[in-house]
Amino acid sequence: MSSTRLRTLPIIFALVCAFLLTACSLGITSSKSTPVSISTPTTAATTQATTAATTAATQSTAVVTTAPTTGAAINATTTTAGASATTTTANASAGSTPATSLISAPVSASGQPLSVAQINQKARPAVVQVTNNQKAQGKFGASNGVAIPTGVGTGFIFDKRGYILTNNHVVEGASSLTVATTDNKTFDAKIIGTYPQGDLAVIQITENGDLPTVTLGDSGKLQVGDPVVAIGNALALQGGPTVTSGVVSALGRVAQEPGSGSNSASGPFLVDLIQTDAAINPGNSGGPLLNAAGQVVGINTLGSTQAQGINFSISINSAKPVADALIAGQPVPRPFVGVTTGSLNPQQDAQLKLPANTGVGIASVQPGTAADKAGLKTDDIIIKFDGQTVQGEEGFVGLLLSHKPGDTVTFTILRNGQQQDLKVTLGQAPKQ
Residues known to be catalytic: 169, 199, 285
Rounded to the nearest 10°, the torsion over CA 17, 167, 132, 195 is -130
Residues 349 and 144: their CA atoms lie apart, in Å, by: 54
Residues 6+ apart with CB under 8 A from 398: 252, 254, 271
Q: What is the largest CA-CA distance in the chain?
A: 67
Residue type, 109: A
* Contact between residue 324 and residue 316 where contact means Cβ atoms under 8 Å apart: no
Please give the helix or strand (H or E) that residue 118 lies within, else none. helix 116-123
Contact 386, 425 (CB under 8 A): no
CB 285 within 8 A of CB 61: no
Question: What does the alpha-carbon distance between residue 312 and residue 278 come to, in Å, rounded to a whole number?
Answer: 9
Tell me the β-bridge partners of 289. 230, 298
Q: Is 195 helix (H, G, I), strand (E, B) or coil?
A: strand
The C-alpha angle with vertex 227 and arms to 224 and 228, in degrees rounded to 5, equals 105
3-state secondary structure of 183: coil
What lies within 8 Å, CB to CB, of 185 at 6+ separation is 207
Listed in sequence order, the DSSP H helices in 288-415 are 316-328, 346-351, 370-374, 392-400
φ/ψ of 403, rounded to 5, equals -110, 180
277-290: b (≥16 Cβ within 10 Å) or e = bbbbbbbbbbbbbb
Q: What is the rounded CA–CA span in Å between residue 291 and residue 128?
A: 19
- Show Cβ contacts of residue 251 under 8 Å, excluding neighbours closer than 6 positions: 222, 223, 224, 274, 275
Residue 357 region by backbone torsions, left for phi larger than 0, else alpha for psi between -120 and 50, else beta: left
